[in-house]
């Protein structure tokens, strides 16, 4: 008896970001999201979508304030799992914190592991120690943040902690777009999983240009969705059945080296 396909509809939000203006960003995003006329199960927002990639500690919010509540509201309204990161202030430290918010309000978080020292992120934010795997509609999903893309060990699909979809939320500069596109494809191929990369467009207050290039790739590294360099929200359907069948006929994962990540 044939196993039925298990689909996941992924909405990717490629947007410009108003610098350190939470109200403007949330209002703009809400307008764009509510205009989507296709059903979706997961909605992906860029890194620090409510402020831009700021090193200003005063722009960080406490937990369960404006942006967190907005994510819960939008998750309930859309019935989707919302994923994105924001600057959070907690117990005297600041974190670039990734949120996965379910429609029922349940919230899972993980802090960015690899902090971008070339932008002084390591001087402002405290790094995370734990990787997050979330389960939703029969899928296992691993969401990571921007610079984490450059570190394949942290992104590795393992037998003890497996996933089907790997997500990177980012503020990746246009001048390093070749690395963005190349590394996303590498992560899909080596992990034999779907990969989604959501990046912003536009220039931030530091003058850094971003050209988007948000993408959803299949387990072969082949694009299923490409957003180019303009503001856009698009939905793509991916198949867990196709993924499982490919892993059966080409089980490279079974020859992977066993390892553990040290603190």
Rounded CA separation 164/244 (Å) = 9
- Residue 61 carries which DSSP code? B
Rounded CA separation 215/68 (Å) = 25
- Annotated catalytic residue, options 47, 61, 142, 193: 47
Active site residue 47: yes
Torsion, Cα of 136, 139, 143, 149 (10° steps)? -170
- Annotated catalytic residue, options 121, 146, 193, 240: 146
Rounded CA separation 34/24 (Å) = 16
Selection from 183, 215, 217, 214 nearest residue 201 by Cα: 214
- Annotated catalytic residue, options 100, 112, 142, 193: 112
Q: At what angle do helices 22-34 and 66-78 cross, to 10 degrees?
A: 0
Q: What is the strand order of the sheet 7-14 is part of?
A: 107-111, 93-101, 81-90, 42-44, 7-14, 232-239
Active site residue 94: no
CB neighbourhood size of 187 (10 A): 23
CB neighbourhood size of 117 (10 A): 10
Active site residue 57: no
What residues are labeled active site? 47, 112, 146
């Amino acid at each position: 008896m044939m196993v039925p396909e298990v689909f996941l509809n992924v909405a990717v939000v490629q947007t410009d970001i108003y610098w350190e203006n939470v109200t403007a960003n949330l209002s703009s995003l809400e307008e764009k999201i509510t205009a989507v006329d296709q059903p979706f199960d997961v909605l992906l927002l860029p890194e620090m979508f409510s402020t831009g990639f700021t090193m200003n500690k005063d722009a960080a919010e406490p937990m369960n304030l404006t942006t967190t509540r907005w994510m819960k509201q939008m998750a309930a309204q859309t019935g989707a799992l919302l994923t994105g990161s924001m600057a959070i202030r907690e117990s005297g430290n600041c974190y670039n914190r990734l949120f996965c918010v379910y429609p029922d309000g349940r919230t899972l978080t993980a802090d960015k592991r690899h902090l971008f020292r070339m932008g002084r992120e390591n001087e402002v934010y405290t790094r995370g120690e734990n990787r997050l795997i979330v389960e939703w509609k029969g899928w296992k999903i691993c969401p990571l943040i921007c610079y984490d893309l450059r570190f394949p060990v942290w992104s590795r699909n393992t037998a003890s902690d497996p996933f089907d979809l790997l997500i990177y939320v980012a503020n990746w500069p246009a001048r390093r777009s070749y690395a963005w596109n190349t590394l996303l494809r590498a992560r899909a191929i080596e992990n034999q999983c779907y990969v989604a990369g959501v990046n912003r467009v536009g220039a931030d207050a530091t003058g850094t240009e971003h050209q988007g290039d948000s993408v959803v790739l299949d387990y072969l590294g082949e694009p299923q969705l490409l957003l180019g360099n303009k503001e856009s929200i698009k939905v793509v359907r991916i198949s867990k059945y196709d993924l499982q069948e490919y892993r059966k006929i080409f089980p490279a994962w079974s020859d992977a080296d066993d390892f553990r990540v040290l603190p």
